[in-house]
Structure 1
Amino acid sequence: MTSTSTVPRFSILIVNPNTSRHMTDALKPIVNSLNYNDIHFDYFTAPALTSVTIEETGRVVPGVPSINSGDDSANSALHCRPFLEPLIPKYDAFLVACYSAHPLVAMLKEDIKKLERKTGSTSNSNIRRRYVTGIFEASVSTSLSLISSFQLLGTDDLRKVQADDTFGIVSTGSIWKAELSKAVAEMLAGPGGSSSGNIARFAGVETTGLTAVELHDTPPDEVRKRMSDATERLIKNTSSPVTVICLGCAGMAGMEEAVRAGCIRAYGEDAGERVRIVDGVVAGVGMLVNACKARF
């Protein structure tokens, strides 16, 4: 929890949908370093010792210690939702800190709508608006804003063309390569993704082969090597320039140096230093703070 010298204007809940408290604790210094002194941050970790029974099916859903697949993210959403729903009135915004197409983002948005309907606040122009995003969505949106620009074809040719820069993702286990590629395609091109399965602005996904938990349990030199190698592969397997790379796991928070090393190996010192590295937690917090203050 952040302590501030001023009265916080807004409150944001950072949601870790797995049961690993050390992963939640690793996010705190990252968020604190952003110096949002007028924002109050709290943190939620999925309860480890409590299972949830889904009424419609009777299926019992335990907590997920490490989210290593799309099914894990879906199960963790089902597990967390009943614990988070009572907390919605307390906060202005929610950040789902799992790098995946996490259903909890949509669930929380739906629960916010239910609260608004129940309180009748939708008819009030001064409603207290609440916001939700996931670190995946935030990192993709931030990456697009960093790479996008329209350029003139020439001083005598006033036609405009979009820059050919791309963004990519470095993630954990190999299962995320297809999972996150599909999620990016559907986020940018709508349900079903692009007809070709490719998105021109997206360089793709490379993975370290480590789970989120193993990122912290594996010797640091091995983690650094795997992240650097994955970054170098991502860049070298893409014909267009990769100018933004996303950290594709909440457990990678604070590991930008390893990605930078891979950029320098692939591009050389000068170009490698210019690649932007996007931490989804930082991007997500920034987006939510701006949304709260702007009242979008």
Structure 2
Amino acid sequence: MVYKVLIINPNSSKKVTDNLTKILIEPLEVKFSFYTAPTTAPAEITGESTSILSEQVVLPDLVSKGLVEQYDGFLICCYSDHPLIHSLGKVTDKPILGIMQATLLYSLSNPFITKSFILTSVNEWEPLLDQGIIDFVGNENNQFPSKKFERTKGLDVSVLSLSNPEEYQKIYNRVDSILNDEYKDSGINCVLLGCAGMAGLDEKLTQSFKGIQFIDSVKVGVELLAALIRFNEHR
């Protein structure tokens, strides 16, 4: 049996979707289709307000096109607690996974990871993603889980520019500063790449910073989603 997965880019920038098609490899018995939000959705999701606008465009579009019925699982490729994850869950009981949640699952379940932090695109995301970690872990006192994570750090690079080769030196310099200055004594051995626009940067950064895992959120997302679909089919 072949399981059909819809890879959802909830912004209207086809450039982001095109990059995903280049770097993603289909797991065994899984077939990908790629979706880009309509042009009425934001071109770039920069925080809470654009996330809401994105969801308000994408959910009715998915429903009206019958895409919810056509697929066995859905990967939401915005690194956040995107509202589409929750609203889509109200219209289907099929597996849905956000790429942020996929990386947090990976880091929390891997015994070799001592401490992680999220590397995101722009600084505006830092408090939102830190709160996303708190909410995901389920801390009743709203305290940041500092035993497993350091606070999120932004690159100050636009989502739409992250995959541009000419931006890599800026990205390298920022990561070097974080790992070897700001978080020098934190025991970091894993960096969660907190943006779908970073897809493919994991390989470059792993070569540049030995001993550190760089986790591509979309790559780990498709693998975990495939496992959830298979489990869902056989329970």
Same-fold status (TM-score > 0.5): yes
Query: May I ask how many residue pairs the two structures share in their alignment?
Result: 229
Q: Which residue is 2:68 aligned to?
A: 88
Residues 165-205 of structure 1 show CA distances to partners (whole Å, capped at 9, x for unaligned) of 101111111101111111111111346632xx453211221
- Alignment partner of 1:285 out of 218, 222, 226: 222
Task: State yes or no: 1:134 paired with 2:134.
Answer: no
CA contact (8 A) 2:193 2:214 kept: yes
Task: State yes or no: 1:67 paired with 2:50.
Answer: no
Deviation at 1:256, TM superposition (A): 2.0
Deviation at 1:259, TM superposition (A): 3.0
Matches within 5 A, 1:151-190: 165-190=114-139
Q: Secondary structure at the match of 1:112?
A: coil
Structure 2 letter corresponding to 1:255: L
Q: Which residue is 1:256 aligned to?
A: 202
Residues 67, 19 of structure 1: alpha-carbon distance in 2 compared, 3 angstrom cutoff:
same
- Alignment partner of 2:88 out of 108, 127, 131: 108
Distance 2:192 2:106 in 1: 9
Distance 1:133 1:257 in 2: 23
Structure 1 letter corresponding to 2:32: F
CA contact (8 A) 2:4 2:71 kept: yes
Task: State yes or no: 1:214 paired with 2:161.
Answer: yes
Identity of aligned residues (%): 25
Residues 225, 192 of structure 1: alpha-carbon distance in 2 compared, 3 angstrom cutoff:
farther
Structure 1 letter corresponding to 2:224: M
CA contact (8 A) 1:139 1:278 kept: yes
Distance 1:204 1:259 in 2: 19
Distance 2:52 2:205 in 1: 28
Residues 90, 171 of structure 1: alpha-carbon distance in 2 compared, 3 angstrom cutoff:
same
CA contact (8 A) 1:206 1:233 kept: no
- TM-score, normalization by structure 2: 0.89
- Alignment partner of 2:108 out of 139, 144, 155: 144
RMSD of the TM alignment (CA)? 2.0
Which of the two has greater strand per residue? 1
Distance 1:204 1:260 in 2: 21
- Alignment partner of 1:47 out of 38, 43, 51: 38
Structure 2 letter corresponding to 1:212: V
Which structure has more relative contact order (CA 8 Å, sep 6+)? It is 2
Alignment gaps of 5+ in structure 2: none
Deviation at 1:282, TM superposition (A): 0.7
CA contact (8 A) 1:228 1:258 kept: no
CA contact (8 A) 1:167 1:202 kept: yes
